[in-house]
Amino acid sequence: MELINSLAAVPDTELFTGGHGGCRGCGAALAARQAMKALGPRTIITIPASCMATIGGSGLTTAWEIPFYHSLFECAPAVASGIRAALDIQGIEDVNVVSWAGDAGTADIGFQSLTGAAERQENIIHVCYDNETYMNTGGQAGSATPYLAATPDTPAGKPTPRKDMLAIMAAHRPAYLATASVAYPLDLIQKFQRAREIEGFRYIHILAPCFKGWGIKEDQTVQLARIAVECGLWQLYEEVDGRRRVTVIPERRLPVREYLRLQGRFQTMDEATIAALQAAVDRRWQEVPS
């Protein structure tokens, strides 16, 4: 396999086309568009209830150029397992089977079927596109919502920290695990390329900001996805057989304060909390080999 190493080498074909129903500047749609560049046309995707399940298919129209099934909220990885079994029994081998869920469809209501599929080492790719809230129902807090983020149901800020889905998924010993960000499309595309080549259960977690939920402007989606990496809150890495490799070391390091203060949802966060968060991020960065 040849890794796509430059923007010029990215295929032009759009497998998640324009005309979809996402909001302006939708990070979720952007994640799908980028990933499809690597996954290619021989891919079957199933997406549970979420923004992404609805924006790509309305009435008798769709933005998907590949087989797509808008599944129920709890069970995209189970559906994907069934699809894989059906392909296996028909002797169809060279198809990527992807369950692609939001943070709720991954970490909350979808977690039961996800942990099941991961434990069974199903030969599928599960993708979490993470906007850190329940956007399709109005941006309520879920387990992926960060500490003190204000949402419609946590107006004073979410009182508990974010669930560490990456640690949880790593504990399932997947064949491949990676983080990605829509601000680093080549890194994202390469990770999907590598995931494609590996058999077994693969998990990719993409930070995909949503301007509505985050209290930013529509044109800041990519900017925030980048600053999240630059301030160290979102590390880009991959793990094959449990061995971690950091894939992007940002050219500049920014304080977390900058990331937080750009967003409307962290307005209630005080300086002491920000300092504590900064200290935690700094500790984590010391572990990263340069």
Partner 1 sequence: MRQLLNGNEAAAHAARLARVEVLASYPITPAAPAMEKITQFIAEGSLKARFIRVESDHSAMAAALGASLAGARPFLITNSQGLAYMSEVLYHTSGLRQPVVMAVVNRALAAPHSRFPEQGDAVAQEAAGWIQLFCENNQEVLDSLLQAFRLGEDEGVRLPVMVNYEGYIQSHTRETVDLPQQEEIDGFLPLMRRPALDVANPMAVNTVAGPELYMDFKYHQDAALQQAAAVLEEVSAAYARLTGRDWGGPVAGYRLEDAEVVLVAMGSLVSTARIAVDALREEGEKAGLLKIRLFRPFPAVAVRQGLPAARAIVALDKNIVYGVGGALGRELRASLYGHASVPVFSYILGLGGRDAGVADLAQIYRQVRENMVAGLTPAAYQWYGL
Partner 2 sequence: MAAKDLPLVPGARPGSMAAAAAMERIREQRPAIDKEKCNLCRECLLYCPDAALAIAGGEVRLELRFCKGCGICARECPARAITMVPEYAGDRGLVGEE
Residue 7 tokens, joined: 């923007």
> Quick check: 256 and 231 in contact, CB under 8 A?
yes
Residue 136 tokens, joined: 């399709």
Report the candidate in 237, 231, 29, 37 with the shortest Cα–Cα distance to residue 129: 29
Interface with partner 2 by CB under 8 A: which residues?
7-8, 10, 12, 14, 16-27, 29-30, 33-34, 37, 56-66, 182, 185, 217-223
Q: Give me the helices (H) in the chain, please.
A: 27-39, 51-55, 76-89, 103-107, 111-119, 165-170, 185-197, 211-214, 221-230, 256-261, 271-286
Cβ proximity to partner 1: between 7 and 89 the closer is 89
Residue 221 binds Mg ion, judged by CB under 5 A: no
Residue 103 binds Mg ion, judged by CB under 5 A: yes
The strand pair at 61-62 and 176-181 is best described as unpaired
Pick from 123, 136, 179, 235 the residue near ligand TPP by CB under 6 A: 136
Least Cβ distance, residue 147 to ligand SF4 (angstroms)? 21
Q: Kindly determine how many residues on this chain lie close enough to bind ligand TPP according to the rule CB under 6 A.
A: 17
Stretch 118-157 residues interacting with Mg ion (CB under 5 A)? 131, 135
Least Cβ distance, residue 74 to partner 1 (angstroms)? 6
Tell the burial category of 129 from Cβ atoms under 10 Å away from its Cβ (0-12, 13-18, 19+): buried
Least Cβ distance, residue 160 to partner 2 (angstroms)? 31
Question: Between helices 27-39 and 185-197, what is the axis angle to 10°?
Answer: 50
Interface with partner 1 by CB under 8 A: which residues?
41-44, 46, 54, 56-62, 64-72, 74-75, 77-83, 85-90, 95, 112-113, 115-116, 119-120
Least Cβ distance, residue 15 to partner 1 (angstroms)? 9
> Quick check: 214 and 145 in contact, CB under 8 A?
no
Who's near 282: CB < 8 A, 6+ residues apart? 232
Instruction: Name the maximum alpha-carbon separation found in the chain.
Output: 59
Provide the sign of the torsion angle of the four alpha carbons 37, 39, 41, 44, taken in this order.
negative
From the list ligand TPP, partner 1, ligand SF4, none, partner contacted by residue 81 (C-beta under 5 to 8 A by kind): partner 1
Cβ proximity to ligand SF4: between 119 and 218 the closer is 218
Stretch 33-52 residues interacting with ligand TPP (CB under 6 A)? 49-52
How many helices (H) and strands (E) the chain has is answered by 11, 10
Least Cβ distance, residue 55 to ligand SF4 (angstroms)? 5
Cβ proximity to partner 1: between 66 and 228 the closer is 66
Least Cβ distance, residue 34 to ligand SF4 (angstroms)? 13
Cβ proximity to ligand SF4: between 18 and 91 the closer is 18
Pick from 4, 15, 26, 28 the residue near ligand TPP by CB under 6 A: 28
Residue 147 tokens, joined: 């500490």
Which residues of the chain form contacts with ligand TPP (CB under 6 A)? Answer: 28, 49-52, 73, 101-105, 131, 133-137
